Amino acid sequence: MANPLSVFGLDEETENTMYEVKPEQSVELLKALHILTRDGKMNQDSRRKLKQIYHLFNFIEPLLKTLQQDERPISLVDHGAGKSYLGFILYDLFFKLHEDASFLYGIETREELVEKSTQLAAQLGFGRMRFLNLSVADSIRSALLPPQVDVVTALHACNTATDDAIHFALQKQARFVVLVPCCQAEVAAELKKNKSRMLHESVLVELWRHPIHSREFGSHATNVLRCLQLEAHGYQVTVTELVGWEHSMKNELIIAEKKGQANRRAAERLTQLLQMLGLEALSLRFFLPDQLQTSVSK
Ligand SMILES: C[S@@+](CC[C@H](N)C(=O)[O-])C[C@H]1O[C@@H](n2cnc3c(N)ncnc32)[C@H](O)[C@@H]1O
């Protein structure tokens, strides 16, 4: 698409930067996140990063707008927040523009990142943001978070932090869950551990007999199990590719919306799949809804 700012006779770099920075957006924030240089320019890497975050924002904004229809404040928890690019962009482009009691939390185990984000939010006057130095697992029971939250996000949260984020979402009855999983080693390790037993039991073991396949199949199986778990708990799940996420191989986007009560068929399929793959030991990780715990056939 032609750059609409070219009519102002600006140099190409400044034009591009202005085109990509939205009118309502804080330039101070983009400088603090090193997306813009001190003189307001943008390099190739930052341009790519910003494009990617916008791309994810485009998936999340409609969910926030849906929640707004209920005319009550929204709570969003971002797990494994890192430098909180996602949280800050969400706040700047959405939360900041709606002067209600909506609140955004970032959960992160690295204390220095929590401190930096806390300082930046204070500097920008982003008063309805809070960063907590907690693991995702500990945040489930933390009194610093509300008993119910509306949206849970986890963007490249390492290893089992994504699973803990699902646990958190289920516990907090989140309406929406948005996950871009990172690599998870637990399932692959379990597949490897049971390989010799499974060699005698099922031809399926060929899917992960070689170490590189254990890793890749393990990663794929993990996301399939996560989706089934969400479905078993009454969520409708969409899995898509985060197109344009060039900086990472991990570009699977899982969006789940709570639609109803526990889903017996999904719970049965989750249980069967764990059995077929020899992953029964992980049934606590991919736990079923309470009401189906005893009745789903093992
Ligand atoms: C790959 S970074 C992603 C950061 C950010 N979400 C992004 O995509 O730019 C993963 C972050 O998750 C944090 N992390 C890893 N395991 C965690 C856990 N169990 N609880 C909370 N944070 C965790 C790490 O310290 C790191 O900052």
Per-residue pLDDT of the chain (298 residues; tens, 9 = 90+): 333 333 333 444 544 555 578 888 898 999 898 888 888 888 777 877 788 888 899 999 999 999 999 999 999 999 999 999 999 999 999 999 998 999 999 999 999 999 999 999 999 999 999 999 999 999 999 999 999 999 999 999 988 999 999 999 999 999 999 999 988 899 999 999 999 988 988 999 999 999 999 999 999 999 999 999 999 999 999 999 886 655 555 689 999 999 999 999 999 999 999 999 999 999 999 999 998 888 886 6
**Ligand 1 site-directed mutation target among 133, 134, 145, 156, most atoms within 8 Å of CB:** 156
Which pLDDT does position 289 carry in this prediction?
Answer: 95
Q: Is the CB of 106 under 6 A from ligand 1?
A: no
Which pLDDT does position 7 carry in this prediction?
Answer: 33
Q: Is the CB of 136 under 6 A from ligand 1?
A: yes
Q: Is the CB of 161 under 6 A from ligand 1?
A: yes
By DSSP bridging, strand 75-79 and strand 103-107 are parallel
Q: Is 40 within the bounds of a domain?
A: no
By DSSP bridging, strand 252-258 and strand 176-180 are antiparallel
Q: Is the CB of 89 under 6 A from ligand 1?
A: no
Q: Which residue's C-alpha comes closest to atom 1 of ligand 1?
A: 156
What residue numbers bound the domain in which 157 lies? 53-297
Q: How far is 123 from 202, CA to CA, in rounded Å?
A: 59
Q: How far is 241 from 134, CA to CA, in rounded Å?
A: 29
Q: Is 41 within the bounds of a domain?
A: no
Tokens coding 226: 């996560």
Q: Is 8 within the bounds of a domain?
A: no
Q: How far is 103 from 129, CA to CA, in rounded Å?
A: 6
* Residues 6+ away with beta carbon under 8 Å from 220: none
Q: Is 243 within the bounds of a domain?
A: yes
- What pTM value is reported for the model? 0.90
How does DSSP assign 148-170, residue by residue? --SEEEEES-TTTHHHHHHHHHH
Give the number of domains in the chain.
Answer: 1
Q: Is 255 within the bounds of a domain?
A: yes
Q: Is 45 within the bounds of a domain?
A: no
Q: How many CB atoms lie within 10 A of CB 6?
A: 11
Quickly tell me which residue has 């570009």 as its tokens: 251
Which pLDDT does position 6 carry in this prediction?
Answer: 36
Q: Is 274 within the bounds of a domain?
A: yes
Burial of 191 (0-12, 13-18, 19+ CB in 10 A): buried
CATH number of domain containing 160 = 3.40.50.150
Tokens coding 224: 């399939």
CA distances to 21, 43, 226, 229, 274 from 285, rounded to whole Å, are 41, 42, 9, 10, 11
Which pLDDT does position 245 carry in this prediction?
Answer: 57
Q: Is 22 within the bounds of a domain?
A: no
State the closest ligand 1 atom to the C-alpha of 164, by its place in the atom list counted from 1: 19
Q: Which residue's C-alpha comes closest to atom 23 of ligand 1?
A: 80
Q: Is the CB of 81 under 6 A from ligand 1?
A: yes
Q: How far is 199 from 292, CA to CA, in rounded Å?
A: 31
Quickly tell me which residue has 């995702």 as its tokens: 136
